[in-house]
Amino acid sequence: MRCSSILIFISFVGLLLRKEALAQFLEPECGLSGMDIKIFGGVNATHGAFPWMAYLYFNENTFLCGGSLIHKRIVLTAAHCIRNTEYLSVRLGEHYTASRAASSTVYRVTLAIRNRLYSKTEHIHDIGLLRLDREVMFNAYIKPVCIITNPRTVPYVSTYTATGWGRTENSVISAVLQVVQLTDTDPNRCYEYMKLRLGPEQICAFNPTGDTCSGDSGGPLVQIVNIDGIWRYVQFGIVSYGMENCMSPGVYVRVHHYVDWILDKIQIALTYKGKQ
């Protein structure tokens, strides 16, 4: 009897610890790719390897930006990507944009929120949220990325994975989702190229053979980390801006700096009854 009580107690404690671990994410089953991903520069991504990627477009199929699914109704993107919202739509499960795959699902944007401190000229606070017209049904090709809700528990990483449909080395928008590995870089390097001082809410990152480029804007900077014994992809940044030639360090929004803002605006988005 005593042994059974101990086992029940251990199981109860284990359940509490699991609930506590999952509570640190916006979505409990986030950041699970199901793919063994190896990246050596700007290459085509494997279909389904980054199931949180969002394809933002307007006027039927004019590509605008990337984004990331962080909640069953919410896509995270850059503030400068939020325009033409009346005609803005999102495709999830997208990979090869030249033809619509069965995995691709279209959602209308019914509310767009930009950070009120966003400055187009200073390139600061470049973060925004999009509310989708209905809840997303998660599957093998559509899953959320992890947003850690407690900034103090965000692990340190020195490299990131960026994905997007931006320009390739041949200066054309890619029809296939591209992926590149980036390294955290001294902010002074970004200043050398862009003459703008970065704040603590920004990341300077670089890959000399394949940086993010025009069209990658709004897409996520992620890395896989071990959290409570489970390897998950966590979003650390948002592609913000860089030089036109795309071969210099780029500037990214540091997501964990805006966690409180994200949580607050999600609550507003989910309770707001109107449009736009």
Query: Residue 267 has which token pair?
Result: 């609550």
Catalytic residue at 95?
no
| Active-site choice (47, 68, 71, 80) | 80
Distance CA 43, CA 251 (A): 21
Distances in Å between the Cα of 205 and the Cα atoms of 24, 175, 199, 212 are: 26, 24, 14, 10
Catalytic residue at 47?
no
DSSP state letter for 154: P
| Active-site choice (47, 125, 126, 240) | 126
| Active-site choice (217, 240, 256, 257) | 217
User: Please, which residues have CB within 8 angstroms of residue 78's CB and are 6 or more apart in sequence?
Assistant: 65, 126, 127, 128, 217, 218, 238, 239, 240, 253
103-123 burial by CB neighbour count: b if 16+ within 10 A, else e?
Answer: bbbebebbbbbbbeebeeeeb
Catalytic residue at 126?
yes
Query: Residue 132 has which token pair?
Result: 């989708």
Fill in the amino acid letter for 79.
Answer: A
Whether residue 57 contacts residue 89, with contact meaning beta carbons closer than 8 Å, is answered with yes
Cite the active site residues.
Answer: 80, 126, 217
